[in-house]
Amino acid sequence: MALIKGLKLCAGALIKENWVLTAAHCDPKGNPQVILGAHSTSHKEKLDQVFSIKKAIRYPCFDPQTFEGDLQLLQLEGKATMTKAVGILQLPRAGDGEDVKPHTKCHVAGWGSTKKDACQMSNALREANVTVIDRKICNDAQHYNFNPVIDLSMICAGGRKGEDDSCEGDSGSPLICDNVFRGVTSFGKCGNPQKPGIYILLTKKHLNWIKKTIAGAI
């Protein structure tokens, strides 16, 4: 996990020694730092590795209104050292870039708020178990009501009665389903069962963009 500490708190996944995948709406202004190996947000730890951002590259089709394509690559000023606290999260293989079926059990981790509407972020890295919800349900009148549309490039997932969810500060966190990195935390209403967490699915199109961007960067 990568902690992105700037104007806002976000998270991300180290996918290469010097690349982090996060959400496009995580604004890289304010000279944010990327902290790898962090467990706490309040104090520096022995195994932390801190990097400045060399380059922030948003997915070119990102739409801030609909959150479609809410992906961003951060190139680090330096390469991470692999330790027991820092490791690379492998991207899905080409065959895994398909959809994630409803009722699939997944988990997401981050430093986001642990209470609805709370301004205070969690000091410690926490994990939530979530279950994938059918997009038809997510788009119905009791849920997002097509505002925005939860399309095929997104995963809708939440906990029972909304008690487990990603929250403010978790943006960019990786969604892991059946031990495979399947999505990136985008938006939601923090523990509200009517507005489950929405994650950007790592589709073949998204994976191709990630690989081409990393290969073409200087």
Let me know the angle formed at the C-alpha of 17 by 47 and 11, rounded to the nearest 5 degrees: 65
Is 166 an active-site residue?
Answer: no
Residue 1 is encoded by which pair of tokens? 């996990």
Q: What are the contacts of 120-127 at 24+ separation with CB within 8 A?
A: 121/9, 121/41, 121/168, 121/169, 122/41, 122/169, 123/40, 123/41, 123/42, 124/39, 124/40, 124/41, 125/1, 125/38, 125/39, 125/40
Is 25 an active-site residue?
Answer: yes
Per the DSSP assignment, residues forming a β-bridge with 12 are 2
Is 164 an active-site residue?
Answer: no
Find the catalytic residue in 25, 143, 166, 173: 25
Per the DSSP assignment, residues forming a β-bridge with 105 are 131
How many whole angstroms separate alpha carbon 183 and alpha carbon 175? 5
Find the catalytic residue in 153, 171, 173, 186: 171
CA diameter of the chain: 49
Q: Which residues are catalytic?
A: 25, 70, 171
